[in-house]
Chain A
């Protein structure tokens, strides 16, 4: 029996877009990067499909990190908004966006975070939302602080928010970090600088958005996330033996 299937395919990103798994300046990669070459996997049915995670995953206040506890968290309120797009500029609709971050003092609500900055009883630092029909999302949160880490002498992470997105195919799955404009810590940060292409690196930096600031309430930053675009459909001939 032979089957002829029309499958979408996703463009591979140019060299330099994503960090090499072996990035010695980020010390934790040393024992965790594969040493054997990656095996090229042609995109087949399992790779061009992917989980479509929708409304069942979201509670009513999951995108407002300032209202998940009794009181308000300390820190500067910020509205973080943007669009989830594929490389062709098409919106990725009704798609799960997850974030996690440190509090305004740069501390995570995690037992492993031993940095002696205060925990905020009113801040969990976890948010979820769905993109709308235009691929738009927004979160209300507080600006995370920078924090020290043991990677190198006097190492500090630039302020950042972790983002997790799925797109519509296994090939598009992405976890990234959103940074803030003009952070003085960029130059010494091996995680930010692990991205070889400087233009790609800049795509992780949000834009201050005066138009979306909220009068006497919150600053605003815009951060679009772009996933791999589709190539023209290809035919896949497969013989079952």
Chain B
């Protein structure tokens, strides 16, 4: 018989998360010399439209072939790509992650999972980034299909000169879609 232990509850990171969580190389999911790298930049904002200067954005994604460096990938782990990015927000609410476009994982359009932590968030909020060039795959993506059509645009990054823009609106008009995982 296996135990069924109760989970430890989530609590807020508080206002001073930036002393403990960020890493110097956190925003660099891929190496500096990677010519396929793109920047994903955005702003985290609150229900008054004000920037959130004490948030942390974390990303998790497959590599360019849609593979994960993880033993629970049933196709086998492909080592070498950390897949994880972490960036605190600046006083203007902005964050920036340098990464590569993920490949499609079976049955899904390419995407990046995102966690946002902040003072005032007692649990992280979870969202996904999709990319505009995969519009055909978005029509059949099972996660996007579970999102009301009029809100799907909040999950699609906007192209910029050096990558994409993905803003996170915690509340209010054009509130980002957040998921219960």
Contact = CB atoms under 8 A, between A and B. Distances in A.
A170 B113 contact: yes
A191 B11 contact: yes
B3 interface: yes
Contacts of A45: 62, 68, 73, 105-106, 108
Interface string B97-126: 000000001111001010101111111111
A200 B9 contact: yes
Interface in A118-156: 124-126
A125 B19 contact: yes
B11 A176 contact: yes
Given A33-B171, A110-B18, A17 B6 contact: yes
B180 A34 contact: no
B2 A39 contact: no
Contact of B151 (A29, A36, A87): A36
Contacts of B176: 34
A interface, by DSSP: helix, strand, loop or mixed? loop
Contacts of A213: none
Given A5-B74, A38-B178, A175-B13, A46 B2 contact: no
B19 A226 contact: no
Interface residues of B, number: 74
B46 interface: yes
A34 B168 CA distance: 11
Contacts of A8: 72
A79 interface: no
Contacts of A14: 6
Contact of A49 (B11, B46, B72, B177): B72
A215 interface: no
Contacts of A201: 9
A46 B5 contact: no
B181 A49 contact: no
Nearest to A7: B74
Query: Which residue, of A50, A113, A126, A225, has the highest number of chain B Cβ atoms within 10 A?
Result: A50
B159 interface: no
B175 interface: yes
A171 B181 contact: yes
A170 B20 contact: no
Contacts of A108: 16, 19
Interface of B: 2-21, 23, 46-48, 50, 52, 54, 58, 60-62, 68-70, 72-75, 82-84, 105-108, 111, 113, 115, 117-126, 140, 142-143, 146-147, 151, 170-172, 175-181
Interface of A: 3, 5-8, 13-14, 17-21, 23, 26, 28-36, 38-53, 57, 85-89, 98-100, 108-110, 112-113, 124-126, 162, 164, 168-171, 173-177, 191-192, 194-195, 199-201, 203-204, 224-229, 238-241
Given A26-B122, A52-B69, A173-B115, 12 more contacts: A30-B120, A32-B120, A33-B120, A35-B175, A49-B68, A53-B84, A98-B20, A112-B16, A177-B12, A192-B11, A229-B2, A238-B106
21 contacts: A5-B75, A5-B106, A13-B6, A19-B11, A26-B120, A26-B122, A38-B180, A40-B146, A41-B181, A43-B181, A45-B106, A46-B113, A48-B72, A49-B73, A52-B69, A87-B7, A89-B2, A110-B18, A170-B181, A195-B9, A204-B9
CB-CB nearest 7 A-B residue pairs: A100-B20, A28-B120, A238-B107, A89-B3, A51-B84, A19-B122, A41-B179
